Amino acid sequence: MSRVKSRAGRIALTILLLFVATLIVMVPVGILGSSNIVWGEDNQYGRVDVPGTAVLHLPAGSLRVSAAVEIPGRGNETPNLPLPSDLALAVTPVRGSAQPTVTRDLGTSANASDDQVNAQRQVWTVHVPSDGAYRVTARGNFLGVGVNAQLWFGHGPPLPGTLVPLVAVGIVLISAGLWLLVHPRLRGRRRTTAAAAGGGGGLSSAPTSDWEPAVHRRATADDSVGRLERLADLHERGALTDAEFVAEKARVIGETESG
């Protein structure tokens, strides 16, 4: 029963440590991978008033388009930014480029750290075929929702906020697995080093002088008994005379005593 309780306690402690480690890892993962503090707001490539038209220089690749609005009296809570049904976007090249592809790609509402707006929400993903100038036309009516309505063009943080806990858990589990893999090897290496420091492959000189003669004496005595038994057998079978048997027996006993 005590062993079961001990094992349950170790499991509970391990789970608690993994949970705490995950919370700790989530902080740098969230800041470095999903925070506007590092990556800035989603308007790196410009903003267009809604309704309004502007020419923006857009890079090749996929970029996100978010609706951004100032919601008066919102406070500090996470906003809920509704989108008007007539909200529309058109992106056309100014010269010589292929037509970009605009895909509806709704995201969740989020805070915006900007001096003009305080709430944002991803609405589209635009696939730009080549770097160049594009005319952007935005239509829609945010009356009753907020003021300073804009469309933001940018890339945003590379890691969505919903994935931060999963990434943190993955980092903690991988780190724990590597530790369990390396730790026994380090422990074995320390033991080997300690044994080598003791001299003689882990056997000190003092114990060797104590037990080595005893082993030698025991081996010599055992060998002498075997030789005497063989001499007796040869004598009984007539291979040795009485005189030869006595002489050989005395020689074996003498060697044993002198050893």
Q: How far is the C-alpha of 197 from the C-alpha of 190, rounded, in Å?
A: 10
DSSP structure string for 96-156 = S-PPPEEEE----EEE---SS-SEEEEEEEEEESSSEEEEEEEE---TTT-EEEEEEEE--
Is the same domain home to 149 and 97?
yes
| Residue of 4, 10, 24 whose CA lies nearest to 172 | 24
Asked whether 153 and 101 are in contact (CB, 8 A), the reply is no
**Tens digits of residue pLDDT in 199-255:** 544 444 444 445 455 545 555 666 777 788 888 888 888 888 888 888 888 888 877
Domain ranges, residue 103: 41-156
Give the pair of three-digit tokens for residue 250.
């005395």
Element (H, E) at 92: strand 88-93
Q: What is the pLDDT of residue 136?
A: 97
Is the same domain home to 218 and 240?
yes
Is the same domain home to 105 and 132?
yes
Asked whether 43 and 142 are in contact (CB, 8 A), the reply is no
Of 22-31, 47-56, 219-228, 233-242, give the range with the top mean pLDDT.
47-56
Helices 205-236 & 242-258, crossing angle to 10 degrees?
170
Q: How far is the C-alpha of 55 from the C-alpha of 95, rounded, in Å?
A: 12
Is the same domain home to 135 and 212?
no
- Give 132's strand partners: 58
| pLDDT > 90? residue 140 | yes
In a domain? residue 217: yes
Radius of gyration in angstroms for the set of CA atoms belonging to the chain, rounded to a whole number = 43
In a domain? residue 197: no
Is the same domain home to 25 and 112?
no
- Give 65's strand partners: 124, 153
> pTM (2 decimals)?
0.55
Is the same domain home to 29 and 130?
no
In a domain? residue 210: yes
Q: What is the pLDDT of residue 39?
A: 73
In a domain? residue 191: no
In a domain? residue 17: yes
In a domain? residue 199: no
Is the same domain home to 48 and 134?
yes
Backbone torsions φ then ψ of 6, nearest 5 degrees: -65, -45
In a domain? residue 111: yes
**Mean model confidence pLDDT for the chain:** 82
**Tens digits of residue pLDDT in 189-200:** 665 555 555 554
More confident residue, 134 or 226: 134
Is the same domain home to 54 and 147?
yes
Q: What is the pLDDT of residue 65?
A: 96
3-class DSSP state of 48: strand
Is the same domain home to 62 and 17?
no
pLDDT grade for 150, boundaries at 50, 70 and 90: very high
Count of the separate structural domains present in the chain: 3
Element (H, E) at 64: strand 61-70
Is the same domain home to 100 and 21?
no
Give the pair of three-digit tokens for residue 248.
């050989």
In a domain? residue 193: no
